[in-house]
Structure 1
Amino acid sequence: MKTKKIFIPVFTLSAALLLTACSGKEAADTTKTQTTQTEAGTEAGTESGTKSGTETAGTSGTKLDDLYQQENQIFADHEDVWNKVFGMMNKSTADPSGNYADYLADTVDSNKDSFSEDELKTLTDDIETIRKIEEQIAELENDTTTSEDTDAENNSEDASPFRDFSGQDYDGNTVDESLFSNNAVTVVNFWFTGCKPCVAELSKLNELNDAIKSMGGEVVGINTETFDANKDAIKEAASILESQGAKYRNLSIDSDSAAGKYASNIMAFPTTILVDRNGNIVGEPMLGGIDNQDNYDTLMKQIQSVIDADSAK
Structure 2
Amino acid sequence: MKLFKITPLIMALGLALCLAACSTPSGDANEPAGSNPEIAELIAQEPANADEAAELYAKLMQKENDILSSDNALWEKVFNAANKDSSMIKDGSNYGDFLLKTIDGAKDEFTADELKTLKAGAQQIKEIEDKLESLEKEFPGCGSTPSAGESVDASTAGMTAGANASSEATKFPSFTGKDLDGNDVNSDELFSSSKVTVMNFWFTTCKPCVGELGDLENLNKELAEKGGQVVGVNSFTLDGNKDEITDAKDVLNKKGVTYKNIWFKSDSEAGKFTSNLFSFPTTYVIDQNGNIVGEPIVGAITSAEQRAALDKLIDQAISNSGR
TM-score for both structures, normalised by structure 1? 0.58
1:102 corresponds to: none
1:90 corresponds to: 142
Change beyond 3 A, Cα 1:223–1:94 = closer
- The match for 2:283 among 262, 272, 288 is 272
State the SS of the aligned residue for 1:269. Answer: coil
1:211 corresponds to: 222
Amino acid at match of 2:237: T
State the SS of the aligned residue for 2:177. Answer: strand
> Following the alignment from structure 1 to structure 2, what is the Cα–Cα distance between the partners of residues 159 and 202?
28
State the SS of the aligned residue for 1:171. Answer: coil
1:295 aligns with 2:306: yes
Amino acid at match of 2:172: F
2:231 corresponds to: 220
> Following the alignment from structure 2 to structure 1, what is the Cα–Cα distance between the partners of residues 12 and 130?
23
> Following the alignment from structure 2 to structure 1, what is the Cα–Cα distance between the partners of residues 313 and 225?
16
Contact 2:202 2:209 in 1 (8 A): yes
**Per-residue deviation at 1:154?**
11
TM-align CA RMSD: 3.9
Q: How does 1:1-313 map to 2 (within 5 A)?
A: 5-7=15-17, 73=122, 76-78=125-127, 81-82=130-131, 84-85=133-134, 87=136, 88-91=140-143, 94-97=146-149, 156=163, 157=165, 162-177=172-187, 178-311=189-322, 313=323
> Following the alignment from structure 2 to structure 1, what is the Cα–Cα distance between the partners of residues 307 and 300?
8
Contact 2:180 2:245 in 1 (8 A): yes
Contact 1:212 1:218 in 2 (8 A): yes
Amino acid at match of 2:308: D
Contact 2:144 2:298 in 1 (8 A): no
State the SS of the aligned residue for 1:284. Answer: coil
What CA deviation, in whole Å up to 9, does each residue of 1:13-70 have, x standing for no partner? xxxxx98x9x98x8669xxxxxxxxxxxxxxxxxxxxxxxxxxxxxxxxxxxxxxx99
* Unpaired runs of at least 5, structure 1: 10-17, 30-68, 99-144
* Unpaired runs of at least 5, structure 2: 1-10, 21-56, 74-117
Change beyond 3 A, Cα 1:183–1:70 = farther
**Per-residue deviation at 1:4?**
6.7
> Following the alignment from structure 1 to structure 2, what is the Cα–Cα distance between the partners of residues 247 and 230?
20
Change beyond 3 A, Cα 1:70–1:190 = farther
Instruction: State the percentage of identical aligned residues.
Output: 36
Amino acid at match of 2:147: D
Amino acid at match of 1:304: D
Q: State how many pairs are aligned.
A: 214
> Following the alignment from structure 2 to structure 1, what is the Cα–Cα distance between the partners of residues 14 and 144?
26
Amino acid at match of 1:169: D
Amino acid at match of 2:238: F
> Following the alignment from structure 1 to structure 2, what is the Cα–Cα distance between the partners of residues 153 and 247?
30
Contact 1:161 1:259 in 2 (8 A): no
**Per-residue deviation at 1:162?**
3.3
Amino acid at match of 2:281: P
What CA deviation, in whole Å up to 9, does each residue of 1:139-185 have, x standing for no partner? xxxxxx9xx89x99998546966352211101000000200011111
Contact 2:281 2:298 in 1 (8 A): yes
> Following the alignment from structure 1 to structure 2, what is the Cα–Cα distance between the partners of residues 207 and 154?
32
**Per-residue deviation at 1:229?**
0.1
Contact 1:161 1:262 in 2 (8 A): no
